[in-house]
Structure 1
Amino acid sequence: MDLSTGSSSMSRSSGIVKKCDCGLPAKIFTSKTEKNPGRRFFGCQLYKDGGTDHCKYFKWVDQEEVKEWPRNALIQAVAENREKERVIEQLQITIVELRSDLEKHLEDSGKVIYRQRLIITLLAGLLVCVVGAYIFG
């Protein structure tokens, strides 16, 4: 489980100091896992120092405070954020595709305008030749 650093003060819940299996005051950590993002829990204060040799004390803070509601709200908020990020990503892809289509259409329009100018120039030249031949011819 990926953990952030705990609070520097030892934790109380309901006015009682929580103690880990080592007998030390428990410390509050914050989970960074996908299943429980941002969820706070009590753990042994020697966890970071002792590696795997520390005691295995673990208790969710929100189960002490209010049963399940904060966790469910957080999980729902994370799911909504992920869905919004997915929609934003799809919109960004759509913008890139539309920009590419627009550039292609502008390029095609430029070619059409060039051809039309060329035709108008040729027709104007032909008209000058016809008028000149009629007058001088």
Structure 2
Amino acid sequence: MSRRSRGNQCSSNGSISEEGTSSSKRGEEKTLSGKCFCGQGVVLLQYGTLTNPGRWFIRCPLWKTMDCKYFVWVDEIDGGWERLARALVRKNQDSSCSNHEVNLTGQRREIEENSVKILLKIGKLQGEIRTIRSWIITIFLSLLICVGLNLLQLINM
């Protein structure tokens, strides 16, 4: 059986949506989740044909490249424009949250990378401090030896 002949389909999130053409029976409940069968966000368009001039519909944004066949007339959706508006707002909020999560993940990764760089610099600086300390101690001990030898020479004279 082809996908077009199945009529209404239940999408992965449980909402019932019209697929294929708009030849479904009036009175059947159609709800809108804001996503098509392949999980993409639906797009809102207006028909410009003689048979349906100015009639609004929603469909999968990938209808040319995917075999999704998601198609619903807005006036056949249970709740109509109000339901569509709520679903699109919810979709935009979900998308916005996803974008913020991606940004936070990117910022977290950047912070971790910077932390590693800082820790490496700290390690390098600690090594340099140890080297400088040993030079200072060496110079101090050399001075003590020189002063001590000079004192011994003065005493022996």
TM bracket (short chain):
0.5 to 0.7
Give the one of 128, 134, 143 matched to 1:112. Answer: 128
CA distance in 1, matches of 2:34, 2:88: 15
CA contact (8 A) 2:35 2:41 kept: yes
Partner of 2:68: none
Partner of 2:12: 2
- Could you report, residue by residue, the CA deviation over 1:31-50 in whole angstroms, capped at 9, with x for unpaired residues? 8863359xxxxxxxxxxxxx
Partner of 2:40: 35
Partner of 1:83: 99
**66-75 or 94-103: bigger deviation:** 66-75
Partner of 1:100: 116
Greater share of residues in helix:
1
Partner-residue secondary structure (3-state), 2:77:
helix
Partner of 2:79: 65
Gaps in structure 1 of 5+ consecutive residues: 6-18, 21-25, 38-57
Distance 1:76 1:30, change over 3 A: closer
| Equivalent position amino acid for 2:123 in 1 | E
Gaps in structure 2 of 5+ consecutive residues: 1-10, 16-26, 43-71
Partner of 1:134: 150
- Could you report, residue by residue, the CA deviation over 1:51-98 in whole angstroms, capped at 9, with x for unpaired residues? xxxxxxx999x9322412112101211211121011011101101111
CA distance in 1, matches of 2:13, 2:34: 5
Root-mean-square deviation (Å): 3.3
Q: How many residues align?
A: 100
CA distance in 2, matches of 1:124, 1:110: 21
* Amino-acid identity (%): 10
